[in-house]
Structure 1
Amino acid sequence: MNSVPFPRRALLRACAVSVLAAVAGLPFAAQAEDVLRVSAIPDEAPTELQRKFAPLGAYLEAETGMKVSFVPVTDYAAVVEALATRKIDLAWFGGFTFVQAKIRTNGTAVPLVQRVEDSKFTSKFITASDSIHSLADLKGKTFAFGAPSSTSGHLMPRYFLSLESLNPDKDFKNVAFSGAHDATVAFVQAGKVDAGVLNASVWDKLVEQKKVDTSKVRVFATTPPYFDYNWTVRGDLDPKIQAKITQAFLKLDPANPAHKEIMALQRASKFIPTKAENYKGIEAAAHAAGLLK
């Protein structure tokens, strides 16, 4: 009998397992569960997301014993769909995208942890116009939100505007979607729009990094606090892996030199457990704003 060279034997075994997985209706990656596939809503430039994730990914590899792979996506909806179709295992969601994922997965998506900062998150309204000093001054002006599915760059600012009896679609001269928080700042600074809104964390980072000219662009209003970002897993991920991921995040400590860079890039002082119930307010706001049917 002719022997099959080792590389070919390995390839045939891999193909056989892949075929079996396909027959079972499950992707090969889900069968193996030796790679943790992670993604994040693209609320900043792709290069920035990769930079922020690199040390965290290495840390999660060490803590879980799994290879960690970052899966970039083009928009917010793609992250929700990737988790729902089991193409990724772990996702960095905003509050609204978590609500969308919960609905899309029939309630099986599991939010594991959030930063302490996410339990009291805010959005900043910014302008470079001398004629804007309050939300009421936005009437008749051009305005930029972030991405349509952004919690802090669209949903919650729109909701709080409605509490001030402002409807952007009727009261503003024009409404644009920049696609990301840093892009919103660029829109305002370049004079493409009169004002915009973005999450407080990205605003603070851009100010610290001197990537915004604060002699021109200023904050003129801040939203009340709300729950926002979290790390969510697909509900059928092995509970032991879920526990390892949770414990890895809860162990992170900025006072630990080995964790300092991770926490700084994540703009976190501490990670804490979270639960789906925390996002009921976000879901109610989305219904009130007409963004969920």
Structure 2
Amino acid sequence: MKISNSRRFSLALLLSLTCFGVGNVHAQQVLRVSAIPDEAPTELQRKFKPLGEYLEKKLGMKVEFTPVTDYAASVEGLTKGKLDMVWFGGFTFVQAKIRSKDQVIPLVQREEDEKFKSVFITTNPSINKLEDLKGKTFSFGSESSTSGHLMPRSFLLNAKVNPDTDMKRIAFSGAHDATVAAVAGGKVDAGALNISVWEKLVSQNKVDVKQVRVFYTTPGYFDYNWTVRSDMPAELRKKISDAFLSLDSNNPKDKEILDLQRTLRFIPTKADNYKAIEVAAQQAGLLK
């Protein structure tokens, strides 16, 4: 049986499109998600599981959560195309924005992230204000943490306290809950972490507030958001945004998800919201 030239061309085109489609379908049928490791990996997995299941239903595609070893890995994963969406802090978003040359887009944030705060904690009765930290030992969270390092450092500098020269020793615990453990265990005189994790640990009786106390709470600043790569199809970006924005705390199933994310609702966000974070990072010499 002879195949005409036009028929042969049609078959070749169909084959090429099919082969191309296999790769694309695989890429688009799995949403690869991660988050900065600001808490223990088991806690991050626990928090994301109901949200991941919800997104799968809303998007009609598989959602895979992949934990990363450190903050830098979350930035690398998104900017190198290994991840599609990441829960960033304000500083890690700025790092991803700069490293990718503006090829990332913040979609949504929790309502609380418009005016997020850090707390400074201690067990030392002689520490009652930021200036009292001179000559003391101190722990930040991760070096790339907004609420555990960048903004606490910024407020320290504003108070004329240079952590690198005025303190006896500084350390980086790697995560907010680890900072609390370091302070409570007497490894350092004081530390800084995000207020959300602090309040969660207090509510779960995982910290003795008679021993560990907050002595300074920062003013509010923009922080966490869910960010995607700019080459994600606009239709998928909208579906993801709509899914987050439609979560309703009056719906019991949605409330479970929102409670785990420690918020009442998600709201839209934009890159311009994080310009102050970028300026603070530049002033602190943390942008490389």
Q: Same fold (TM over 0.5)?
A: yes
Q: What is the identity, as a one-letter code, of the residue corresponding to 1:43?
A: D
Q: 1:32 Cα shift? A: 2.9
Does the aligned pair in 1 maintain the 2:164–2:170 contact within 8 Å? Answer: yes
2:27 to 13, 19, 32: 32
Q: How does 1:118-197 map to 2 (within 5 A)?
A: 118-197=113-192
Q: 1:38 Cα shift? A: 0.3
Determine helix, strand or coil for the equivalent of 2:33: strand
Report what 2:11 is aligned to: none
Greater mean deviation of Cα atoms: 274-283 or 131-140: 131-140
Deviation track 1:18-65 (CA, whole Å, cap 9, x = no partner) reads xx79xxxxxx57863100000000000000000000000000000000
Report whether the alignment pairs 1:64 with 2:62: no
Report whether the alignment pairs 1:244 with 2:250: no
Report what 1:227 is aligned to: 222
CA–CA distance in structure 2, aligned partners of residues 52 and 244 of structure 1: 21
Q: What is the identity, as a one-letter code, of the residue corresponding to 1:76?
A: Y
CA–CA distance in structure 2, aligned partners of residues 88 and 116 of structure 1: 25
Q: What is the identity, as a one-letter code, of the residue corresponding to 2:50?
A: P
Does the aligned pair in 2 maintain the 1:113–1:274 contact within 8 Å? Answer: yes
CA–CA distance in structure 2, aligned partners of residues 97 and 163 of structure 1: 22
CA–CA distance in structure 1, aligned partners of residues 122 and 242 of structure 2: 41
CA–CA distance in structure 2, aligned partners of residues 144 and 274 of structure 1: 30
Report whether the alignment pairs 1:55 with 2:50: yes
Report what 1:5 is aligned to: none
Question: Which ranges of structure 1 fall in alignment gaps of 5 or more residues?
Answer: 1-12, 22-27
Q: What is the identity, as a one-letter code, of the residue corresponding to 1:167?
A: N
Determine helix, strand or coil for the equivalent of 2:82: coil
1:114 to 109, 112, 133: 109
CA–CA distance in structure 2, aligned partners of residues 132 and 166 of structure 1: 14
Determine helix, strand or coil for the equivalent of 2:135: coil
Report what 2:80 is aligned to: 85
> What's the TM-score, normalizing by structure 2?
0.92
Deviation track 1:96-122 (CA, whole Å, cap 9, x = no partner) reads 000000011110100000001000000
1:98 to 93, 101, 107: 93
Structure 1 segments, 4+ long, off by >4 Å, are 28-31
> What's the TM-score, normalizing by structure 1?
0.90
CA–CA distance in structure 1, aligned partners of residues 234 and 25 of structure 2: 14
Equivalenced residues, count: 272
Does the aligned pair in 2 maintain the 1:30–1:86 contact within 8 Å? Answer: no
Considering only CA atoms, is the larger Rg found in Structure 1 or Structure 2? 2
Question: Which ranges of structure 2 fall in alignment gaps of 5 or more residues?
Answer: 1-14
Determine helix, strand or coil for the equivalent of 1:61: helix
